[in-house]
A and B are shown apart, each in its own frame.
Chain A
Amino acid sequence: MAISKDLVAASATPLVLSILSEGDNYGYAIIKRVRELSNGRMQWTDGMLYPVLHRLEEQKLIQSKWRESKTGRRRKYYKIKKEGTKALKEQKKQWEVVYSTLRRLWENEPCLT
């Protein structure tokens, strides 16, 4: 089952902010983490993550810094800022409302199996 594009786009911000709230991370690892957590069901076109990250950076929710890995490869690490943590809290509330609304509707549905 593939998740629709719209849903992937809508969930990108809370996903990125949540992953960054676990610690600083770079694009490739963020995508890998999403893939692992969703058991490969959430597929992003990899490159599309970066405009999302840059938008969040522009909104001052996260900040970035180039660092060199042990292998000598340069990676751009992203770090969540205070404003980002606040925005994540707000996003959580909103998603919980959506989730509980749908849950209630679907709980009332007659189960056919």
Chain B
Amino acid sequence: MFDLNEQIIKWRSNFAQSETLAGSDIDELESHLCEEIDQLTGLKLSDEEAFLVATHRLGSTDSLATEYEKINRSSIFRRRLSLMITGILAYLLATHFATAVSKDCVLFAANSGITGYHSLGFIGFGLQILILTTTFFLGYFICWLIIQRPGFKKQIKKLTTRTYLLTALLVFLIMTVVFRVAFCIPVPGLRPMNIQQHVVAALTYTKSLWSIFLPVILVMVLINLRKPNSHGVKSK
């Protein structure tokens, strides 16, 4: 039995795989397809026949994707760059988290009697690698699941991109500062330092500043990469 709705969903998913068409482009093509099918079924064609004729008239997925690529080139570039920057941000966040947790664990281990640079070094190194990889891949996987969820696009449309990104920036900043402070504060607090150690601590703080500002710069770039309001297009 031919199910028209199911076929339309399948037809849509072919376009969704091509990154050259935006969601609203596919919506527009689908609206056209439905008009054509209505017209053809009005001429006594069956649902199946109408669907086949209408999709044929609309053109093949490949040829349409090629045409759309010509006009959507800049937005494709923006999307790719946004993905890359998001990846870097996720990596930075995972690094901060891993560094903070592993260093604190090393300090905890040192205070609970484990001695020797080798064993402490191994604890620190092992923990950092383990936490870094798990946080990064788990975070990436969760983000991917959220994005794939149906209805996600509608939720995004309700918020403006700017608010969405600024919230992300704020959360990111708070987390970065918390992780950095969690690592930096206990070190000078636990034992008295000589001049050399003061220099090391100062360098660590400078590095912390950089690690806070780099994400801010990246998030600013992300905000500016957002698609300019496409000339008053408002989707419901």
Contacts and interface: CB of A to CB of B under 8 A. Distances in A.
Interface string B87-105: 0000000000000000000
B29 A47 contact: yes
A51 B68 contact: yes
Given A47-B29, A64-B233, A58 B59 contact: no
Given A46-B36, A47-B29, A50-B28, A57 B59 contact: no
B158 interface: no
Contacts of B231: 57-58, 60, 63-64
Contacts of B59: 45-48
Interface in A46-68: 46-48, 50-51, 54-55, 57-58, 60, 63-66, 68
Interface of chain B, main secondary structure = helix
Contacts of A26: 31
A103 B230 CA distance: 42
Contacts of B27: 74, 76
B70 to A, nearest CB: 7
A27 B70 contact: no
A28 interface: yes
A110 to B, nearest CB: 42
Contact of A74 (B29, B31, B58, B233): B31
Interface residues of B, number: 27
A67 to B, nearest CB: 9
B63 A45 contact: yes
Interface string B44-79: 000000000000011100011001101110000000
Contacts of A74: 27, 31, 236
Contacts of B112: none
B62 to A, nearest CB: 11
Nearest to B25: A50
B36 A28 contact: yes
Interface of B: 24-25, 27-29, 31-32, 34-36, 57-59, 63-64, 67-68, 70-72, 230-236
